[in-house]
Structure 1
Amino acid sequence: MHRVAAQLGVTKMALYRYVPGKAELVALMVEAAIGPYPPVKVRHSGWREQLEEWAGQLFDVFRRHPWALDATVGPRIMGPAELSWLERAVSALDGTGLSGAERMDAAALLVGHVRGITQQARATGPAGNPEAQLGALLGDLMQAHGERFPALTAALTSAAQSHGQDQAWEFGLQRILDGLAALIDRRVR
């Protein structure tokens, strides 16, 4: 609160006239940064396409505002804009046979994937490709000690053949959606 007040050129006590504490200030910052879920440009008929679009948009938000990764962890105050994102994910699963709790869990699972991949990208820098960087870091090590780690050596060789293409985002997203599809199919039968 002290730093924010100083940057605004007011006293810390003056800032408390507008927000009661740090939690509320952070919630307002998140609200301003992420905004409400954008209007849907293309109507997707299926839940899978809707969740693919939703996850991609959330990924873009976290890439534009990496500080929001830390600001949106754990129980906290959430505003209407942030809630609109959750509403969109949960409502995409309407009519699938999943319970409300399962739809919330599916949204949480997707958020976890988005957060994990965004954190990896943040750790590797703006031009970073986590898979290519990992391959480069482990390449010499595997040449020297690859016989002790045959499965890892084979996996890194395979990844190198894809020219270090970062596939973790799409691979993880599709496997999560495949799992949801299997559960939904069992419910529909």
Structure 2
Amino acid sequence: MTREIPRTLQILWGEAPRPGGRGLNRERIVAAAIEIADADGLAALSMARLAERLGSAPMSLYRHVANKDELLAFMLDAAPGSPPELPRGWRPGLEAWARALRDVYYAHPWILQVSDGRPPLDPGQLAWLDRGLAALDGTPLSQRDRFEVVTAVLYFVRGEAQIGAILMRGGSMEDYAGLIAHFVRPERLPALAAASDAGIFRPSADAAESSFAYGLARVLDGVSVLLAGD
């Protein structure tokens, strides 16, 4: 049975013809859409506003992008850019990969909303997955274990970015810390109250970096234990 490949993937992988015409093209449309989403959030992105940004009629966009869902798929493919070259060694390589991925989420926090944890199929995101797996070349881990390790690092980075790239934008983390301090009392939530009193919810660039570095190190420590058992 032949599986039907969605039109969007055919376009992204170069298996479908590109529309002709001068001036407006898919790359310009996607780049402008990313600029809007980065600056004002995903809710601010509409085909009408995008057409206005590009100085074209809304219907002109549909020659290159079928609908907003397809536009979002194109944005997911383009926004991360090319994955970084990684240093030698599985641990420095995975750490560099994780930090570069974190930078992508911080620069484009809307990615976390659009991707929604779905496995990627576009060439842009798969290139990042491939580079993460390549960091484990030369280790005795099976292909399955390598995939699970990279997935674990990915989940950690995504989870951290949900807080760092979204809550901390516009002072939201300060609001969160204030509400935690107001509502959390030792007699009801003693462990959380102690953490709040210690100031762990107070936003700061140093605290965010320290927390990320600590968590990533513990994840990679677990990989070291896995490797030591092989």
TM-score scaled by length of structure 2: 0.63
1:83, distance to aligned residue in structure 2 (A): 1.8
1:176, distance to aligned residue in structure 2 (A): 1.1
1:66, distance to aligned residue in structure 2 (A): 1.2
Q: Does 1:114 align with 2:160?
A: no
Bigger relative CO (Cα 8 Å, ≥ 6 apart): 1
1:146, distance to aligned residue in structure 2 (A): 1.2
For 1:117, give the aligned amino acid: E
Show the counterpart of 1:123. 167
In the aligned structure 2, how far is the partner of 1:10 from the partner of 1:67? 25
Show the counterpart of 1:78. 122
Structure with greater helix percent: 1
Q: 1:91 aligns with which of 131, 134, 157?
A: 134
In the aligned structure 2, how far is the partner of 1:176 from the partner of 1:159? 24
- Give 5+ residue unaligned stretches, structure 2: 1-45
1:39, distance to aligned residue in structure 2 (A): 3.6
In the aligned structure 2, how far is the partner of 1:141 from the partner of 1:5? 43
1:171, distance to aligned residue in structure 2 (A): 2.2
Show the counterpart of 2:77. 31
Cα RMSD of the aligned pairs, angstroms, is: 3.0
Is the deviation greater in 96-105 or in 49-58?
A: 96-105
Show the counterpart of 1:149. 189
Change (3 A) 1:177 1:19: same
Show the counterpart of 2:180. 138
For 2:188, give the aligned amino acid: R
In the aligned structure 1, how far is the partner of 2:187 from the partner of 2:48? 58
Q: Is the 8 A contact 1:27 1:77 kept in 2?
A: no
Structure 1 vs Structure 2: percent identity of aligned residues? 34
- Give 5+ residue unaligned stretches, structure 1: none
TM-score scaled by length of structure 1: 0.75
Change (3 A) 1:60 1:153: same
1:86, distance to aligned residue in structure 2 (A): 0.7
1:120, distance to aligned residue in structure 2 (A): 0.8
Change (3 A) 1:147 1:71: closer
In the aligned structure 1, how far is the partner of 2:90 from the partner of 2:170? 32
For 1:88, give the aligned amino acid: R
